Amino acid sequence: MAVGRAVARYPAEVPVAPAGTVRRAAVLVVLADGPEGAEVLLTRRAQTLSSHRGEISFPGGRVDAGETFEAAALREAFEEVALDPAVVEVRGRLDAISTMTTGSFIVPIVATLDERPALWPAAAEVERILWVPLAELTRTDTFREELWHLDSAPRPMFFFELDDETIWGATARILHQLLRVALGI
């Protein structure tokens, strides 16, 4: 898959969370070929979760002590959507991002699949599994950017308006970075 090769960018060093970071986290940005070309795996978080309920996200979560970012992303994807780590080919990392609201330091791990496997949402964490074509994310009517003033500093906020979902926050920032790197937009 050309997209996977384009984002294979392992930094020379392991990402280090900035001071004040509450938690280290990893997400799995999984790409597979679909009818419209490359597709990315996303989930809608369960309404019962304590934070970010009902939001669109990548499979992922907290990095346990002694665990690599890659191992955490693969473990979380298995726990959330039953994605077998044995069928996943890790290709690289995108640049880490920090969140203001939760104090998370998130490392996006990019991976590809030879084919889309059957997946099952873990009801306690995931309400819906989505495969979104990258072509849909690049439509002119899908993406928008707003400038929000947080802590007196302007900050760009990205939104992807799908037919029935809105992607924003950290997930939108990671998708924006993925599209810039992989597709050169």
- Has residue 84 been placed in a domain? yes
Report the distance separating Cα 160 and Cα 155, nearest Å.
Answer: 17
What is the domain range of residue 114?
2-134
- 48: domain CATH number? 3.90.79.10
Cβ atoms 126, 43 nearer than 8 A: yes
pLDDT of 152 strictly over 70: no
52: left (phi over 0), alpha (psi -120 to 50) or beta: left
- Has residue 148 been placed in a domain? no
Cβ atoms 137, 6 nearer than 8 A: no
- Has residue 10 been placed in a domain? yes
| Bigger pLDDT: 109 vs 48 | 109
In the chain, the number of structural domains is 1
The band of 12, judged by pLDDT with boundaries at 50, 70 and 90, is very low
13 closest CA partner among 95, 99, 104: 95
The band of 138, judged by pLDDT with boundaries at 50, 70 and 90, is very high
The band of 36, judged by pLDDT with boundaries at 50, 70 and 90, is confident
Task: Give residue-wise pLDDT tens across range 74-100.
Answer: 999 999 999 999 999 999 999 999 887
In the 8-state DSSP scheme, what is residue 1?
-
Map residue 75 onto helix, strand or coil.
Answer: helix
Q: Give the distance from CA 153 to its chain's centroid.
A: 25
